[in-house]
Amino acid sequence: MSPDRWREVERLYHAALERDPEFRVAFLAEAVDSDEELLDEVQSLLEQHSADSRLDRAVYSIPEVP
Q: Name, in order, each residue with C-beta under 8 angstroms of 35's C-beta and a sequence gap of 6 or more.
A: none
Q: Residues near 12 by Cβ (< 8 Å), separated by ≥ 6? A: 28, 31, 32, 38, 42
Q: What global pTM score does this model have?
A: 0.71
Confidence of residue 56 (pLDDT cuts 50, 70, 90): very low
pLDDT tens-digit map of 4-49: 999 999 999 999 999 988 898 899 999 999 899 999 999 999 988 7
